[in-house]
Amino acid sequence: MTILVLELACSVKVVSNVESSEVISDLLISLLIDEINIGDKLMGELGVALEDIGRGLWGFRWEDRTKVRINMPLKYWRTP
């Protein structure tokens, strides 16, 4: 499997009704995987706190624990 690694190639931030800080991140591209995913270290840098992974519930670490969001629909970087 070939994976293209582009170091410090993208700027990422979470945009909801509030925004996270912007984080510069590496970008990994695989010809076999068409889902857009972010890793645990990037989620940590963005301040994301997982509440229920199976149901897609999350929030920001700096917010009240009662403020929970639901994941956006799955995104593909090419036609599945």
Task: Give pLDDT tens digits for 2-49.
Answer: 889 999 999 999 988 888 999 999 998 888 888 888 899 999 999 999
Q: What is the pLDDT of residue 44?
A: 94
The overall pTM is greater than 0.95: no
Mean pLDDT over 64-79 rounds to: 80
Query: Residues with Cβ < 8 Å from 63, sequence gap 6 or more?
Result: 18
Give the pLDDT confidence score for residue 79 in this predicted structure: 53
- Cβ–Cβ < 8 Å for 57, 69: yes
Residues 6+ apart with CB under 8 A from 79: none
Domain ranges, ordered by start, for the chain: 3-70
Contact 46, 21 (CB under 8 A): yes
pLDDT reading at 74 higher than 60 = yes
| The length of the chain, given as a count of residues | 80
